[in-house]
A and B are shown apart, each in its own frame.
Chain A
């Protein structure tokens, strides 16, 4: 609804003005925050700031527009539901949190999307879209003093207001081993396994991210760029793919304000049941829990982090994103000191953190089975 217009500009006027510069804009929502971004020539900086300041407080939320957007977002959800991995991920996330909002799919359930009223949306907007609850990041080719003057010019006039936040209670542990199963049309079987991860501001997050790198390959820091590093030398790739048990494996660790999840995503092959694959994953986790990682493995993980960091500075959209993202859960030095912090991690740290978080009795295992079970075995 933030792209549908304000008292001053229609949504189309804003979209067209940005497009006319050759730039682009969009928004995305994580469980912790919503981000609006514009990438455009530096000569258009003031226009970008004017639009963002305006829609921070002046969006209209016209009732008719709400109804049109409702069907668009329902359509987005329907597109996601076509993918079994989305359905399984939603079920695994619900099992991984009992009460914390991280259990909810960001897009919302179909029921919620059908029931939300214009007043619900506008109430959310008026509460959270306040300068005191916002963070502005700029990266690119501009004069710092001039840019700050423009920021002041457009954002200072906005009256501050209080934001009422729910401050959910963090869930530090998955308290038991849980299993969720879904069935669907005949294709592959899928597995997702989720463990609790520390909040990103926790010093142990850095050891945890090296564990991720070692067992499933490094996550890319290049959200707006061209790829990252493969995972063919990771422990799980060797165990599952080289040994011909699964078609693909990768992991995902998100930096979040509260403790979150690290999740493995596996696409099974038709000739092995999910249980056989899970047995092999357990072997990899057992090794992680019982043996120190070697100096060589640690050195490789560090070099990969250094390279990923270099790739992440490849474009300005990514640079601004990471400054803001890091500030949301710690401060921007979390990102600028990222490699330095990783270099301080020892193999003893890794063993300690692995034992704290990778207990097989405290994880969620999700399986999506194709209905044609004959494909397995």
Chain B
């Protein structure tokens, strides 16, 4: 009924992806999408909340927000009038390992928008009034977050699971640590850590790759920071070996959010694709895999119930998440544990494995259908140090995964005696 073959030659590869690194340490990737009148870009600088000083959690995040409040050339109003008057956007935010920026514009406006991006990254003005405004906005955000069951369950999970590692802290910091940050802290952070060395930008859209690359070089090659400090190394971390449970009580909430998690391989690990296919079977495929089938479809306990493999560069985790009525919390935990027991006790069936392999291959062209999808793929090539022909090699990699491989990984990572379980909602 359906033609399941994947034309791998039509997928982006070494002959169609542009990638070049420059003398100042920056890298540009580009892939053309001639049908699009617009260009989407996304990139990162290798500095994030990992570099936050002790007692000043949230500094990198607040710093990233301040980059949009004006430059030495353009004050706030002028800057945003220029960006928005051409229907473009630029956003900057900080994660744990990197500061991420993205934007889109009509292709004829790309020179202007890239010039403004460089200004924002390299010559921020740090206006005092906007610093105070952002601190106030963050104070409001902290109050809102404290009432958000999903956010509080996630923060509790990170706190327990990543105990002793910087990932245990929310990237946006805490009310008291953000209040302790001064404008001088931000200026010093910028002077020490920001620069083109390690910066990566990927582009996709209606501009030919060579023209995009010329423009990138024209705009960014003049940016040099001689003594740019390197990101601090990820500290060593060993996963916990004990069960942990925390419930964050938030009165008057109709729904509780639940997270059950364990360790996971990094995105660069050879086990990544095995776990990824296993995760699809556990809590993604169809209406959210086995977890969705058990918790949502058969038991009607949750509107959403799924699993996710958060495999990054450093410590990673494998989670099951669900939103349930507070009265059904224990029942949902029981159902999820039953599925996890099954997942580590018996191999997935041949039909399940065949389903998720077909899905993974079928997703390739669909995931590359939009400019944003192409850019996400280009950045993952760079971040995980993958071959430019990665997509063309992927069918063989997936084909080699067996049900036994998935069982071995499931047993290695899902230790049911040391699960971290957090929830947030009405008091238990």
Contact = CB atoms under 8 A, between A and B. Distances in A.
Interface string B81-92: 101111111010
A22 to B, nearest CB: 2
Nearest to B361: A22
Contacts of B136: 244, 247, 269-271
Given A40-B366, A300-B84, A15 B287 contact: yes
Nearest to B204: A314
A118 interface: no
Contact of B286 (A15, A228, A241): A15
B67 interface: no
B131 to A, nearest CB: 12
B86 A70 contact: no
B359 interface: yes
Interface string B358-375: 111111111001111100
A244 B286 contact: no
B296 A72 contact: yes
Contacts of A41: 2-3, 362, 365-366
A115 interface: no
B80, B149, B250 interface centre (most CB from chain A within 10 Å): B80
Nearest to A299: B85
A270 B3 CA distance: 58
B89 A227 contact: yes
Given A230-B80, A247-B136, A314-B38, A81 B255 contact: yes
A314 B36 contact: yes
Contacts of A316: 369
Interface residues of A, number: 77
Interface stretch (A98-106, A285-293, A301-309, A329-337): A301-309
Contacts of A82: 148-149, 253-255
Contacts of A187: 143-144, 146-147
A307 B358 contact: no
Given A40-B366, A81-B255, A188-B144, A303 B87 contact: yes
B141 A40 contact: no
Interface stretch (A28-36, A42-50, A203-211, A353-361): A42-50
Contact of A16 (B141, B285, B324): B285
A44 B2 contact: yes
How many B residues are at the interface, by size bracket? 35 or more
Interface in B69-102: 76-77, 80-81, 83-89, 91
Interface string A235-272: 00010011010011000000000000000000111110
Interface string A30-66: 0000000001110110110000000000000000000
Interface in B1-41: 1-4, 36-38, 40
A225 B255 contact: no
A22 B143 contact: no
B301 interface: yes
Contacts of B37: 310, 313
A226 interface: yes
Contact of B359 (A19, A217, A248, A267): A19
Given A233-B85, A314-B36, A247 B285 contact: no
Contacts of A186: 143, 147
A92 B355 CA distance: 46
Interface in B289-332: 293, 296-304, 323-325
A314 B372 contact: yes
Contacts of A269: 136-137, 139-140
B255 A227 contact: no
Contacts of A16: 285-286, 355
A377 interface: no
Nearest to A232: B80
A114 to B, nearest CB: 13
B106 interface: yes
A109 interface: no
A172 interface: no
A278 interface: no
A320 to B, nearest CB: 12
B140, B146, B293, B359 interface centre (most CB from chain A within 10 Å): B140
27 contacts: A12-B287, A15-B287, A19-B359, A21-B2, A22-B363, A22-B364, A40-B362, A41-B362, A43-B3, A43-B4, A46-B1, A72-B302, A79-B254, A227-B89, A229-B87, A229-B88, A230-B91, A247-B137, A267-B140, A269-B140, A270-B140, A306-B106, A307-B105, A310-B38, A310-B106, A311-B38, A370-B143
Question: Which 4 A-B residue pairings sit nearest by Cβ, starting from the closest?
Answer: A22-B362, A307-B87, A78-B254, A226-B372
